[in-house]
Structure 1
Amino acid sequence: MTSEATPTVDVLIDQLERAVFQRQTQEGVRLLLQLLASIAESRVPFGILPPTSKPEERRAAYTRIAAMISALLCSPDFQITLGQIEFLVGRKHMLEAIFELSGYEGPFHLLRYLGQRNPDGSVKLLANQVFVLSLFYSLDSLPEELAQGVLKLPPEQLLPLMIGWITTPFVHHERGERNRGLLIENSKLIESVMPTAGIIQAMTSAWMHCSYADHPRKHALKQSMNEVWKRLNQKTGLKSRSRTYRKDADRPTMVIAAERMQSGHAMDRCYRSGLEQLRSKFHTVCVVAQGYFTEDLRSLFDEVVMFERGLAINEMGARLVKIEPDIIYFPSLGMSEWTQMVANQRFAPIQIMSLGHPAPPMCDTMDYALVSPGVGEFAWEFGRKVVELGVTPRFDAHPDVMAHQVSHEKFDDGRIHLAVNSSLMKLSPRFLALCERIEAEATRPVHFHFFASASGVMYDRLKQVFERRFRHFTLEPSRTYGGFLQVLEKCHVALAAFPFGNTNSTVDTCLVHVPTVAYRGNEPLSIFDRDVLRMAGMPEWLVCDNDQAYFDTAMRLIHDDAAREELVSLLKMSDLKKQMFEWQKPGDETDFVESMEWIYRHHEALQASSSHVLRAHQDIPA
């Protein structure tokens, strides 16, 4: 007996409308959740309808969904369970986008429907109405009075709203950045909450996504969320249990807590060369969740311990204790809930992270951040100690890059084509405003190409925003890596988004000989473009440290053909694959493992030192 096929989006919309019009409110809520789940599963670009659909058809579909949500909310018998609320929180960005893509162009009408109008024209809302309404407001559209009302909600209601907003993958307006900053500044309000199981995954995303905010204290949110993780750890029985530090162990056991260990993933491209060194001096055990590991990487480790998704966190701790690690190494930290929870405990006498997600964990259980040369001065928020490697690690090539031959064929329509090779989370309001200024003030026509990795509803949302802000642009759909390079190499200039910059994306622009304008901030996540451009032999003037300098540099490359072509010639003449993917001199290929061993053997002296930033293999100040 075969199961029924999942209804298509248009069929689900029909069913939702029928339930709502027939006043079957509970059935309507169920169908709404089923519709959202169906939309979320789609990874195909061009939104919720087939690519052949017309813009007015997509707008009509979003309007129908928004209208049915509005009708459900205003129904006198509307009820929603905690589990359903948690489901909606996990898809908050979709709810926001549906209203903004609809004919309503936002959820503003809901405030008028549900609120009580005061004589002075203001609107009064009950606390539960503030909570429900806020599910549909984006940070970009959230009015100040509603934002202040949100901060007065009980912590157990504030937590899901806060993490839903922080996880939002795209904030494009100055108002949105202000609202995001307001949440960060008030993050202590959530520290007393015991989260329910249904929002733990959303918490994980928020812990990571706060790094994309344009706020000087954005990582303060992690401090508050770490308090929540600790409380959850205590409830679930996850306790710090570490073996004693063994300075003279012959081949210490190192657990590599791998959030992602997949061929071609950014973690593979950045860290394979370091990981393959470790076996020479450590017994290495890769701990990774099923579905996030590819077998071709098994040879990097002595052992691979894969655990099933959904494993109880106390069982996760028990498995770590059984391994008895001398070191736990987090190549990245921020993409998985189990690593965030484990990092807030101690399961080894030495715990080290590197900058796979280049942002501080804000927990006192992280002993070291191991960083590239020249990065230590920017890592002031990281761990107890920051240790610089002796040499800059090399990258590992994407499996398709070595075979790619640069065509040097450019777009030839009289415009300068600008590649924005950054994911949608990195497209900050400040960066987008600067792009608008470039288009407005350039004396020759430009055309933007946004490689934002957007799909489904978010593809439609980005396209709507860009249509209102830029005259000439293409929102590039997701492609194979080879197909992506073929489009990227046809652009004349690349603009790296800020304040959260690029790494592998700037490697890609260099490999296809596209000059890149970069921004250097005062933290690691804002300086890797600089390091990549240095490896490629690009001049320092391409790396800017303020908005005006970035604008001026971009305008120079747009208008000065000779300067731009000189940079292209430098990239053509450079052996970029050798500079990026090969060690530059003998001994470099063992620096990573030797630095790790140096940390291990000198752990006590390093912890006792008064210095926060140290250099591997050099004298340790008292």
Structure 2
Amino acid sequence: MKLNKTDKITELNKLSDKISLLENRGLHSVTIKEIETLSQNCAAAFKDLSIAKNKHLHRNIVQVYTRVASFLSSWLAEQRNKVTIELLLCLAMQKNNIQEILLLSGFSGNEHLMAMLASDIVDGEKSFANGGLILSLALLNLDQITEEMLQVAISLSDEVKVPLFMGWLNQVSTFTAQGEKNRETVIRHADFLTKVTPDYQMIQCFINAWMLCSYAVFPAKHTLKKYLNQMVRNFLIAEGMSDNGTQYQLNARPKMVVVHERFKPGHAMHRCYAPYIEQLAEYFDLVFIGEKEHIDASYSMAQKTIVLDTNEQSLTDITKIIKAENADIIFYPSLGMSHYTICLANLRLAPVQIMAGGHPATSFSSCIDYIFLFFLEELTSKLVSEKIVTVDNIVFKQEPHPKLKLSTISREYPQGNKFKIAINATSMKINGDFIEACKSISGSAKKKVEYHFFPALTGNAYDSFTRLIENELPGSVVHQSSGYSRFLEALSKCDMSIVPFPFGNTNSTIDALMLHMPVVSMSSAEIAGLTDKAILRTVGLEHCTVVDSVQAYIEKCVQIVNNQAEYEYVHDQVVAIDAKNSLIRKAGEQDDCFSQFARMFALTYDYHLQIQASPARVIDYKNISGARLYRDSL
């Protein structure tokens, strides 16, 4: 429900009244729980109340942010000499909210708070007593903390490091090269987390980090998942949850439970995987499971769909539901977007468990046997914990977005002094190294480069991201999340799309190609770095705009911006491949790639024991496609 101006002012006044009540009681009587609630209330109030979108309320909104920031700062300064683990855990779980409050307030950040926490000035530098130092570590983000302070944090006790690391690992994006370097340092020193047995609230917070580490730059980032998986196992054991214990046996028609994190029409997962999953019904009795917000209950491709309410059902309840199905095989099309799925993936709930690259990253869970990939490079198998199953040279096709409508597109090299570059990627894909590359592109371009970000954000998250991007890349345009048609309209006004590295895009690249935009991407051996290369290879554009190093990426972008002939060459190549027809599945269209996907799953199940006994890390369809299925022998 959209709020009108009066309703919005009412919401702001309610928040102001809550602050007044706390102020009137005095700082000393305010509890940690009340601070947590204030942070949550503020996040809820501003979730859909963006400063940028409500310019007529700019002053009102900033005033409330500033009141909250002022109160929080005064209260936190009072805690310098009484820092507790409870307080640090609260700050870790509310860190992103508190960062946004401080940034969007009249203080424009936390520098004033750092001054309040400093106990003295020595040789012109801030000096912190122990309590003030630890609070500062808890409140500074990866882009702000110095290497020296980070080393101090690493030397602290594990009990104190747990909330500090939680706060840093839950940072969605980094905006500086130093911030990305700090993220690497934190991950490298996170092995102590294997000794932690958390409660479910802490698990939920750390599971965000399980997914977010995938977007880090350094190659060994997924080692964090090893540590977090062990932490999850500690929690599961403490809560009495255990593996199923069902033994593997051949079955002419195995039961497959498909655990969907996201599978509604229009979502990237549905667009990418629906035509493939549909074919699994040829070989398996399908049971779909998913949260009510993220799945439809009416899929004809499944014999049964179980809709979860994770607000009402505990993880123990969900585990019992899955165990009751006595599945022969469990399939996770993606892992990383829901808290409960990552917990489930650390249990053996079926004899055979397989994931796909919906979130293109390895699980590092000993309970996941296989990962299905549409594409791989020679080194990919060394970067994942699972055995890889793949269909060689599969033609990548996806479901059309329900609101996909394209008119005739005419695109020319921009004749003016401005060149608009689109970065149509969610916020977590942005990192300090990528932003440095953008600065280099701007610095070498003969035209004024205007970056257009499409981070899929609204409200306070959008305002905060915009402020941080403007600090690093002045003059950039950040677009708020909108419907698909409006998004395509805004994207079409840009001249080129560049793919963030190292994580890459999938659907966003196809969107840009359908709009006849040149797309530049950088490949790597890891899964997330191969998606765009695979798409561009499918349509014959790999030679055109795929590079393999940061320097080559910068040079390719500059070449297209500066050279009209190069721009027109790439553009003509994009037009020629007709992305809408070559990459989008037509209604009722069947393709060998869909049936091969399903048969590969059936073969993997039937020959599971032999595959697991084999030293081979990659099982390619072309090598086993002639094998006989168990059902055909009956």
Q: Judge same fold: TM > 0.5, yes or no.
A: yes
Q: 1:169 is matched by which residue type in structure 2? A: V
- The more displaced of 535-544 and 150-159 is 150-159
1:545 paired residue number: 548
1:51 aligns with 2:52: no
- 1:56-455 to 2 correspondence within 5 Å? 61-75=64-78, 86=89, 88-117=91-120, 123-126=127-130, 128-247=131-250, 249-295=251-297, 298-310=299-311, 311-375=313-377, 377-390=379-392, 391-401=394-404, 403-408=405-410, 414-455=417-458
Contact preservation (8 Å) 2:194, 2:231: yes
- 1:476-491 to 2 correspondence within 5 Å? 476-491=479-494
1:472 aligns with 2:512: no
Contact preservation (8 Å) 2:390, 2:620: yes
Contact preservation (8 Å) 2:260, 2:334: yes
Contact preservation (8 Å) 2:400, 2:585: no
Distance 1:376 1:260 in 2: 30
- 1:504-543 to 2 correspondence within 5 Å? 504-543=507-546
2:621 paired residue number: 616
Contact preservation (8 Å) 1:25, 1:77: no
Distance 1:182 1:125 in 2: 24
Once the two structures are TM-superposed, the CA of residue 222 in structure 1 deviates from its matched residue by 0.7
Distance 1:233 1:91 in 2: 24
Q: 1:418 is matched by which residue type in structure 2? A: I
Contact preservation (8 Å) 1:156, 1:190: no
Contact preservation (8 Å) 1:45, 1:454: no
Contact preservation (8 Å) 1:252, 1:326: yes
Contact preservation (8 Å) 1:261, 1:267: yes
Q: 1:260 is matched by which residue type in structure 2? A: R
Distance 1:316 1:206 in 2: 22
- The more displaced of 363-372 and 385-394 is 385-394
Once the two structures are TM-superposed, the CA of residue 292 in structure 1 deviates from its matched residue by 1.8
- The more displaced of 408-417 and 509-518 is 408-417
2:630 paired residue number: none
Q: 1:611 is matched by which residue type in structure 2? A: A
Distance 2:530 2:611 in 1: 26
Distance 2:560 2:196 in 1: 51
- The more displaced of 361-370 and 64-73 is 64-73
Identical aligned pairs, as a percentage?
26
Q: Which segments of 5 or more consecutive residues in structure 1 lack a partner in the other structure?
A: none
Distance 1:216 1:26 in 2: 47
Once the two structures are TM-superposed, the CA of residue 216 in structure 1 deviates from its matched residue by 2.2
Secondary structure of the equivalent of 2:221?
coil
Structure 1 residues 72 and 374, CA gap change in structure 2 (3 angstroms):
closer
Once the two structures are TM-superposed, the CA of residue 318 in structure 1 deviates from its matched residue by 1.9
Structure 1 residues 26 and 300, CA gap change in structure 2 (3 angstroms):
farther
Once the two structures are TM-superposed, the CA of residue 77 in structure 1 deviates from its matched residue by 11
Distance 2:79 2:418 in 1: 56
Contact preservation (8 Å) 1:223, 1:363: yes
1:606 paired residue number: 611
Instruction: After superposition, give the CA deviation of every residue in 1:529-562 in whole Å (9 maximum; x if it has no partner).
Output: 1111123332413101111110111011111222
Please, what is the CA RMSD of the aligned residues?
2.9
Instruction: After superposition, give the CA deviation of every residue in 1:250-309 in whole Å (9 maximum; x if it has no partner).
Output: 10011111111212111101110111001111001112122221245x222111112221
| TM-score in terms of structure 1 length | 0.91
| TM-score in terms of structure 2 length | 0.89
1:494 aligns with 2:497: yes
Distance 2:295 2:409 in 1: 34
Q: 1:193 is matched by which residue type in structure 2? A: V
2:597 paired residue number: 592
Contact preservation (8 Å) 1:286, 1:304: yes
Distance 1:52 1:408 in 2: 37
Q: 2:420 is matched by which residue type in structure 1? A: H
Distance 1:557 1:88 in 2: 45
Secondary structure of the equivalent of 1:135?
helix
- The more displaced of 506-515 and 454-463 is 454-463
Distance 1:263 1:339 in 2: 20
Structure 1 residues 31 and 119, CA gap change in structure 2 (3 angstroms):
closer
Once the two structures are TM-superposed, the CA of residue 27 in structure 1 deviates from its matched residue by 4.7
Once the two structures are TM-superposed, the CA of residue 136 in structure 1 deviates from its matched residue by 1.9
Secondary structure of the equivalent of 1:263?
coil
Distance 1:104 1:89 in 2: 21
Once the two structures are TM-superposed, the CA of residue 124 in structure 1 deviates from its matched residue by 4.0
- The more displaced of 189-198 and 319-328 is 189-198
Instruction: After superposition, give the CA deviation of every residue in 1:176-217 in whole Å (9 maximum; x if it has no partner).
Output: 112211110111122211212322221221110011111221
Secondary structure of the equivalent of 1:404?
coil
Once the two structures are TM-superposed, the CA of residue 36 in structure 1 deviates from its matched residue by 2.7
Instruction: After superposition, give the CA deviation of every residue in 1:441-496 in whole Å (9 maximum; x if it has no partner).
Output: 21122211111123223322222233333343211111110001011112111111
Secondary structure of the equivalent of 1:339?
helix
Structure 1 residues 267 and 13, CA gap change in structure 2 (3 angstroms):
same
- The more displaced of 350-359 and 365-374 is 365-374
Distance 1:466 1:288 in 2: 35
Distance 1:151 1:274 in 2: 46
Structure 1 residues 437 and 384, CA gap change in structure 2 (3 angstroms):
closer
Secondary structure of the equivalent of 1:618?
helix
Contact preservation (8 Å) 1:376, 1:613: no
Contact preservation (8 Å) 2:454, 2:478: yes
Distance 1:138 1:77 in 2: 19
Once the two structures are TM-superposed, the CA of residue 116 in structure 1 deviates from its matched residue by 3.9
Contact preservation (8 Å) 2:259, 2:332: yes
Once the two structures are TM-superposed, the CA of residue 173 in structure 1 deviates from its matched residue by 1.1
Q: Which segments of 5 or more consecutive residues in structure 2 lack a partner in the other structure?
A: 1-6, 626-634
